[in-house]
Structure 1
Amino acid sequence: MDLQRLVDTFNFLDSWEDRYRLLIDMGRDLPALPEEARIEANRVDGCTSNVWLETTVSDDTPPRMFFSADSDAFIVKGLVAILLKAYSGKTPQEILDTDIESLFDELGLSQQLTANRRDGFVAMVKQVRNRAQAVRADETEGAPG
Structure 2
Amino acid sequence: MSLPMHAQDALSSFEQAAGWEQRARLLMQWGERLAPLNDAEKSDANRVHGCESQVWLVAELRDGQWHFKGASDARIIRGLLALLLVRVEGLSNAELLQLDLPAWFNQLGLARQLSPSRSNGLNAVLQRMAQLAAGT
Structure 2 equivalent of residue 23 of structure 1:
27
For structure 1, list consecutive stretches of 5 or more residues without a partner in the other structure: 136-145
Structural mapping, 1:51-90, within 5 Å = 51-58=55-62, 60=63, 63-90=64-91
AA of the residue aligned to 2:102: E
Q: TM-score, normalization: structure 1?
A: 0.84
* Deviation sequence 1:53-87 (CA, Å, 0-9, x none): 011122x2xx2221111000111001111111111
Structure 1 equivalent of residue 123 of structure 2:
122
Identity of aligned residues (%): 36
For structure 2, list consecutive stretches of 5 or more residues without a partner in the other structure: none
Higher relative contact order (CA 8 A, sep 6+): 2
Structure showing greater radius of gyration is 1
> Are 2:38 and 1:34 equivalent residues in the alignment?
yes
C-alpha contact (below 8 Å) 1:86/1:100 kept by paired residues:
no
RMSD: 1.5
* Deviation sequence 1:89-113 (CA, Å, 0-9, x none): 2211121122222111112222112
**What is the rounded CA distance, in whole Å, between the counterparts of 2:102 and 2:90 in structure 1?**
19
**What is the rounded CA distance, in whole Å, between the counterparts of 2:133 and 2:112 in structure 1?**
28
**What is the rounded CA distance, in whole Å, between the counterparts of 1:38 and 1:4 in structure 2?**
29
How far 1:117 moved relative to its partner? Answer: 1.0
Give 3-state SS (helix, strand or coil) of 1:35's partner.
Answer: coil
Q: TM-score, normalization: structure 2?
A: 0.89
Runs of 4+ in 1 over 3 A off after TM superposition: none
